[in-house]
Amino acid sequence: MPDATPPAEPVHLVHDVIIEHDDWGDIEPVVDACFKTVMAHDPETFCKGTVALLFTNDEAVQRLNRDFRGKDKPTNVLSFPSDEDVMDNEGPIHIGDIALAWETCYREAEEKKVALKDHAAHLIFHGVLHLFGYDHEDEEEALVMEKMETDLLADMGIDDPYAE
């Protein structure tokens, strides 16, 4: 008799996009491509759950940075991991939130002479990696995180942002 057990639900990472600053335009295809790339790259590491992404401006990110990190200045991307243990939880959970600041991201893309969508993809990956516990506080951690970022970007056909 054939096994009547339904197939296991596929592991996936779900995202919710909030566009608070209109200059971000149609950023959702970039977000979709990033999350598909993350799951294709390493589905075992990036467990089932949800991530909220806020595409806003420098003023809002500066407020978040000040209120949650004690740094009264805008930055390109902020990550806010949830308090839940993302690797040990059996069901879907909220993994965390990511906020990107338009003016800072736009200026950085111009300075680096890269497309804004490519820079945004890099920052989305950076934020996602922070949500999963990656960091760059010391040189060894930074090298591991940068390698993950460049591998993910390469999977999307985007050049290494750390290349000289």
> Domain locations in the chain?
13-155
More reliable by pLDDT, 50 or 103: 103
Binding-site residue ranges: 126, 130, 136
The confidence score (pLDDT) of residue 42 equals 79
The answer regarding whether domain 13-155 maps to CATH 3.30.465.10 reads no
Beta bridge partners of 129: none
Helix segments in 2-131, DSSP class H: 28-41, 58-69, 102-112, 116-131
Instruction: In whole angstroms, give the CA distance from residue 20 to residue 18.
Output: 6
pLDDT of 20 over the 70 cut: yes
Nearest alpha carbon to residue 17 among 61, 51, 60 = 51
Cβ count within 10 A of residue 113 = 6
Instruction: In whole angstroms, give the CA distance from residue 157 to residue 119.
Output: 13
Q: To the nearest 10°, the Cα dihedral for 148, 151, 152, 156? A: 170
The confidence score (pLDDT) of residue 88 equals 54
pLDDT of 105 over the 90 cut: yes
Listed ranges 8-22, 56-70, 132-146; the one with the highest mean pLDDT:
56-70
Give the tens place of pLDDT for each residue, 42-57: 777 777 788 999 999 9
Please answer whether residues 46 and 132 qualify as being in contact, where contact means their C-beta atoms are separated by less than 8 angstroms.
yes
Which whole number is the average pLDDT over 74-81?
A: 97
Binding-site residue ranges for Zn(2+): 126, 130, 136
